[in-house]
A and B are shown apart, each in its own frame.
Chain A
Amino acid sequence: MTNQRAAIAAGAAIAAMLAAGPAAAQDAGRYLAGNCANCHGTDGVSAGGMPSLAGQPKAYMVGQMQEFKAGKRPATIMHQLSKGYTDQQIEMLAEFFSRVPRK
C-alpha cells in the first residue's frame, strides 16, 4: 500500500475521531501508542534496555521521527518503522507521549 493511501485512511479515521469529540481524539493517540509499547513499554514507559518515550517533548519526538523517516538519524530499526506512519499519526503519537508522566 502506498503512503498516500495510508495517509488517506489515517486521515479519515482521525476526522471521524475529531467529529466524535476531543476525548475520542485523545483516545486515538493512546490507542495508536500501542504500536510502540511492545519495545518502548506500555504508554512509552520502558521496562529497560529501550528508550522511554513517556514525557518526551512533542516537538523533540516529532523531530526524531522525521529524522528517522528521512534517513538523517542512523538506527538499527527505527529508520524502517518510522516510514510506516503518516505525519498525522506521528503528531498524534508525539502529543500522547508528551502528556505521559516520566517515571
Chain B
Amino acid sequence: MQAKRSRFLTVMLTLGLAFFYVPMILLVVYSFNYSKIVPVWGGWSLRWYKELFESREVWSAVSLSLQIAVVNATFATILGSLAGLAMVRFGRFKGRTLFGGMIVAPLVMPEVITGLSLLVFFITLNQLFGWPSERGFATITIAHITFSMAYVAVTIQARLTGMGQDLEEAAADLGAKPFKVLTAITLPRLTPALISGWLLAFTLSLDDLVIASFVTGPGANTLPILIFSRIRVGLRPDINALATMIILVIALCVAVAAILMFRQQRADQRDRKMAEGEEH
C-alpha cells in the first residue's frame, strides 16, 4: 500500500497523536509547578522532586517494585521461552492443546479474575502447608511470572516461526544432535528476542496494579499500589514528579528494545534476501 495519504488521514493521524501525547506532556509540565494544587500554575520549581527524593515510603516502594520486576523478568523469560520452544519446535505432544490454551489464556484473562484466583490459591496453600504465611514479595513475584511468561512465550513463538528451521535442519544434517542444535544454533539466534522478552516482562511487572493489590500483604507496597492509594483521593503534585521520572526510565527502556528489534528485523530481511538469492 504505497498510495498517498489523503488530507483526512493526515488530520486523523495528527489528532490521534495529540490525543496520545498532550495529556502526558501536561502531566510532565505540571510536575515542575510550585503550586500545591496541581492545575493552578505557581511558577517553575523542583520542589516536588525534592520531596519525592526525600520520601522513604517512595524509595522502599521503588526498591520492592524493581526487585520484583527483575526476578519476574528473569524467570518469565526462562519459562516463557521454554514454553515457546515447546509449542513451535516439538511438533505434537500429549496435552499440547491444553498447554497452548494455558499460554494464551493469561493474555486475555481479566486482571481481577487472575488476581482473585491467585489470592484464594495462596490462602488455600497457606492453610494446607503453612506457606506462604506472609504475602508480599514472593506472592507478587509468582503472580507476575505467571502472566508475564505468557507474553514472553508469544514473543518467542513469533520469533521462532519467523526464523524458520533451515539453519537447524542444516546443522542436524551435518550430524549435530538435537540438544547441540538447540544450544549452538537456536538459542544464539533467539538472543534479541530473549532480551526484548525480558524487557517486556520487566515493564509489565512494574506496571501491574490490580493483580499485585490482590496478592500483596500488609506493608508490602509496590510502586503502583503506593501511587494508586495516593491518587484515589485526588491530584497530587508529588505524583506528577514521580510520573515524570517513571516515564523517563520507561522511555529509555523502550528505546533500547526498539533499537534491538529494528536491528533484528533488518538481519532477518538480509537473511531472507540471501536465501532468495541462492535459490535463483
B is bound to A: no
Q: Which residues of A are interface residues toward B (Cβ below 8 A)?
A: none
Q: Which residues of B are interface residues toward A (Cβ below 8 A)?
A: none
